[in-house]
Amino acid sequence: MRKTLLLLLLSCLAHVLHAEDGYDLWLRYKRIDNNMLLTSYRKTITAIQVAGQSPTMDAVKKELEQGLNGLLDTHITVTSKVAGNTLIAGTREALTALKLQDNQTPAEGFLITSKTIDNKHYTIITANTETDVLYGAFHLLRLIQTHQSIENLHIISSPRVKLRLLNHWDNLNRYVERGYAGISIWNWHTLPDYIDDRYIDYARANASVGINGTVLNNVNANATILTAPYLRKVAALANILRPYGIKVYLSARFSAPMEIGHLKTADPLNDTVRQWWQAKVKEIYQLIPDFGGFLVKANSEGQPGPQSYGRSHADGANMMADAVAPFGGIVIWRAFVYDPQANDRFKQAYAEFTPLDGKFNKNVLVQVKNGPIDFQPREPFSPLFGAMPQTPLMMEFQLTQEYLGQGTHLVYEAPLFKEVLDADTHAKGPNSSVAKVIDGSLYEHTLSGIAAVSNIGNERNWTGHLFGQANWYALGRLAWDYTLTSEQIATEWIQQTFSNDPAVVTSIKQIMLTSREAVVNYMTPLGLHHIMGNGHHYGPAPWSNNAPRPDWDPIYYHKADAKGIGFDRTASGTNALQQYQPAVRQLYADSNTCSDQYLLWFHHVSWQHKMHSGRTLWNELCHKYQEGVDSVSAMQQRWEQLKPYIDPERFHQVQMLLAIQHKDAIWWRNACLLYFQTFSQMPFPASYEKPDHTLEYYQQQHFPYAPGN
Ligand code: GCV
């Protein structure tokens, strides 16, 4: 009896220990559950040989061992002899020594090839750099995890974009601005002496999708990060991340020379200030020889910047760029600026930055948010893309779901990223996509980059919502190759994260691929934007009109009145449309031909306006809000059907979050429609479920402790 109890206890314990809690991300390396495939993989690779010894090649070896041992449920032999059925990984140089070099190795990226030499089969991963070999190793593991054949490989893969970065908005006290996954993973207090294993797993996860840089701290920067004790902490992290090909960057506070250098000014043209930055940069490179450079938010939302001294963004950026240039560093200068006095926030970044085109140093990139306002569920692409031909522009996306339901809503963002990257700027005629601006090909820039505001925190599953992991994954995959489809990326992620069972993949994919349009519909359909609660940005507050500045107020954006709703950005309004090329302008200029998706972005439209569906604008608005809610119900139903196929821990977590999302979607629909009805004075159509609360009820909801604010 006691023995049985003990066994039961042990099996429970084993279950607890092996519970799927999301920590392993898409690198779970579980035994292949298809016997035919398993046999074939086991035959193809019986041993691995990793040519060369270095921290990066050690990481390659460790990952291949861990991955193959798990996936093939075996004990893979690590060999130094060239024998058949071996997986050989090494740089081109290392393989030349083994007489296995290949002429097709790409300049950047990797080659994976199957070869038969003297009747012996080899799988070879090679590249010009060790980091690229590591990317190849992760790619091979991905092929196995997604059940693809590895018998006859010839894969050449090169990244389309050079800098593939995460931007952490993490403060030194570990509070993450707009963070919904716990506190910062960087434990500044225990660094540099205590190295959390999580730092290594963070590096592995990023390298597995080709992310090669990380900005460790918030763009609303604290100058303390640049003091000697903190730089030693940064150096400790750089040492951990380096073998995985990840460079560290820091957000720099423009007024640091005053705050920590005790100078009287931070004027970028002042000699003492310039010398201060040069000395600081030298100190950084002594500790971190491959330091990436600085990210700067200047003269934006109260942050200090060169304009405080009558200087331009270019003066500020170039001063720092001069300091990092001798060490190969870069400066990433953000274009997120807006002015409460201006009549349209949409136009500000373009107005301030286009006159500076050609004035930035060669090692400066200007980082532009994907849309003209601020990471809304849907925005047209920022008109800056294609408008600064002489400046490399870097894309800024947001993984953390500040405006997309934060930590509780399932929203797969790849379709949003793709929509922007695929948009045609017409800057050099047709086929001048945003992606071609970003990858440098349109204007032949050698520097290119995509960054995204991180959604990572110290929660066990990293991103709070398990499906937030898919956005992190998608960012890396798209930055490597933006021609991948949202569906391809979702498929890969599901196969690695949940299951290769086609029925499971199809069902989860359906949930993911409908989720972005769902959030647009239940929050901001038909081109509405920025109608969320002030400050915390959680939940609807279209009535809000008392923010510290007008351009933080929802009423500034929806402009609802007795006649209609929407922001007139045509020639009869603020004429923001003028900032686009004529061919783009033409798409949006006429309210009768403008697509529904962007209608209220560009037009103030009568409540009676006839939509493409034949409904009035008011009825269409009700219809869209309802559609958003219905989509979440459908997502819930699909998830319920997946219960037998998903481990109970992850199933239950997502199930509970979907219930919150459903409740929130109803809240958004009711609060917005009840409020807009006070202007339209039109009845709700029969198809729309009547709100169960009054408008006053919704207006009284407060969230003083909403996270991330
Ligand atoms: C880091 C929005 C966010 C701020 C953020 C800012 C930015 O305004 O609400 O939290 O600040 O964007 O991107 O700089």
The tens digit of pLDDT for each residue in 48-57 reads: 999 999 999 9
The CA-atom distances, in angstroms, between 80 and each of 88, 100, 112, 550 are 10, 14, 19, 67
Using the predicted structure, report yes or no on whether residue 8 has a pLDDT greater than 80. no
**pLDDT score, position 695:** 98
CA pair distance 278, 432, nearest whole angstrom: 38
Please tell me if the CB atom of residue 419 comes closer than 6 angstroms to any atom of ligand 1. Answer: no
Q: Are 109 and 161 in contact (CB under 8 A)?
A: no
Amino acid type, 278? Q
Model confidence at 103, pLDDT cuts 50, 70, 90, reads confident
User: 220: Cβ below 6 Å to ligand 1?
Assistant: yes
Mean pLDDT of 323-329: 98
Report whether pLDDT(17) > 50: no
Return the pLDDT at 81: 81
Does residue 2 surpass a pLDDT of 60?
no
Q: Would residue 402 show up in a list of annotated catalytic residues for this protein? A: yes
Which of 301, 422, 640, 689 is the catalytic position? Answer: 301
Give the 3-state secondary structure of 581-635.
CHHHHHHHCCCCCCCHHHHHHHCCEECCCECCCCCEHHHHHHHHHHHHHHHHHHH
Return the CATH superfamily for domain 16-157.
Chitobiase/beta-hexosaminidase domain 2-like (3.30.379.10)
The domain limits of the chain are: 16-157, 163-489, 520-567+604-699
Lowest mean pLDDT segment, chosen from 1-10, 64-73, 218-227, 584-593: 1-10
The total of other beta-carbon atoms located within 10 Å of residue 134's CB is 27
Q: Which of 168, 169, 251, 395 gets mutated to test ligand 1 (max ligand atoms within 8 A of its CB)?
A: 169
What's the CATH class of domain 520-567+604-699? alpha beta
CA of 167 to the centre of ligand 1 (A): 12
Out of 170, 267, 402, 439, pick the active-site residue: 402
Q: Look at residue 477 and tell me whether its pLDDT is greater than 70.
A: yes
Over residues 166-178, the mean pLDDT reads 98
pLDDT tens digits, 632-682: 999 999 999 999 999 999 999 999 999 999 999 999 999 999 999 999 999
Which CATH homologous superfamily contains domain 163-489? Glycosidases (3.20.20.80)
Task: State the distance from the centre of ligand 1 to the C-alpha of 12, rounded, in angstroms.
Answer: 45
To the nearest whole percent, how much of the chain has pLDDT over 90? 93
Q: What is the pLDDT of residue 18?
A: 53
Instruction: Give the integer Cα–Cα distance in Å for 104 and 595.
Output: 45
100 vs 85: which has the higher pLDDT: 85
* pLDDT beyond 60 at 9: no
Q: pLDDT confidence of 4, banded at 50, 70, 90?
A: low
What is the per-residue pLDDT across 412-467, written as a single tens digit (0 to 9) for each? 999 999 999 999 999 999 999 999 999 999 999 999 999 999 999 999 999 999 99
Q: What is the pLDDT of residues 555-574, one digit of tens each?
A: 999 999 999 999 999 999 99
- Segment 186-209 shows an average pLDDT of 98
pLDDT the model gives residue 11: 46
User: Is 336 close to ligand 1, i.e. is its CB under 6 Å away?
Assistant: yes
Residues ≥6 apart with Cβ < 8 Å to 197: none
The answer to whether the CB of 169 is under 6 A from ligand 1 is yes
Instruction: Give the number of other CB atoms < 10 A from CB of residue 108.
Output: 15
Mean pLDDT, range 478-493, rounded to an integer: 98
Distance CA 300, CA 220 (A): 9
- Report CA Rg, the chain: 26
Instruction: Report the range of poorest mean pLDDT among 1-15, 514-528, 628-642.
Output: 1-15
Average pLDDT estimate for 274-292: 98
**Tokens found for residue 256:** 């640091």
Helix H or strand E encompassing 695:
helix 695-699
Is pLDDT at 6 greater than 90 in this prediction?
no
Contact 421, 144 (CB under 8 A): no
Catalytic residue status for 301:
yes
168 lines ligand 1 (CB under 6 A): no
Query: Is 297 near ligand 1, meaning CB less than 6 Å away?
Result: yes
Q: Which residues contact 439 (CB under 8 A, 6 or more apart)?
A: 160, 161, 448, 482
Element (H, E) at 41: helix 35-44
| Nearest atom in ligand 1 to 297's CA | 14
pLDDT at position 492, please? 98
- Residue 100 confidence (pLDDT): 77
- pLDDT tens column, 112-141: 999 998 889 999 999 999 999 999 999 999
User: H or E segment at 678?
Assistant: helix 648-680
| Per-residue exposure over 146-161, b if at least 16 CB sit within 10 Å of its own CB, e if not | beeebeebebebebbb
| Interatomic CA distance for residues 304 and 292, integer angstroms | 22
Q: What are the residues whose beta carbons fall under 8 Å from the beta carbon of 12, sequence distance 6 or more?
A: none
Q: Give me the pLDDT at residue 194, please.
A: 98
Residue 246 has pLDDT above 70, yes or no: yes
Across the range 152-177, mean pLDDT stands at 98
Mean of per-residue pLDDT scores for the chain = 96
How many Å lie between the centroid of ligand 1 and the Cα of residue 218? 10
User: Does residue 374 have its Cβ closer than 6 Å to ligand 1?
Assistant: yes
Token pair in block for residue 677: 């009805």
Q: What is the pLDDT of residue 10?
A: 44
Q: How far is the CA of 458 from the centre of ligand 1 (A)?
A: 21
Lookup: tokens for 65: 């061992």
User: How long is the chain?
Assistant: 709
Q: Is the CB of 158 under 6 A from ligand 1?
A: no
pLDDT the model gives residue 661? 98
Do the Cβ atoms of 394 and 365 come closer than 8 Å?
A: yes
| Mutate-to-test residue for ligand 1 from 176, 374, 536, highest number of ligand atoms within 8 A of CB | 374
* pLDDT band at residue 240 under the 50/70/90 scheme: very high
Is ligand 1 within 6 A of the CB of residue 177?
yes
Q: Does residue 374 have an active-site annotation?
A: yes
Q: Which atom of ligand 1 is nearest to the CA of 300?
A: 14
pTM listed for this prediction: 0.97
Q: What is the mean pLDDT of residues 488-504?
A: 98
Q: What is the mean pLDDT of residues 87-105?
A: 87
Q: Which of 63, 344, 374, 413 is catalytic?
A: 374
Mean pLDDT confidence for 7-14: 45
Percent of the chain with pLDDT over 70: 97
Do 202 and 187 touch, CB atoms closer than 8 A? no
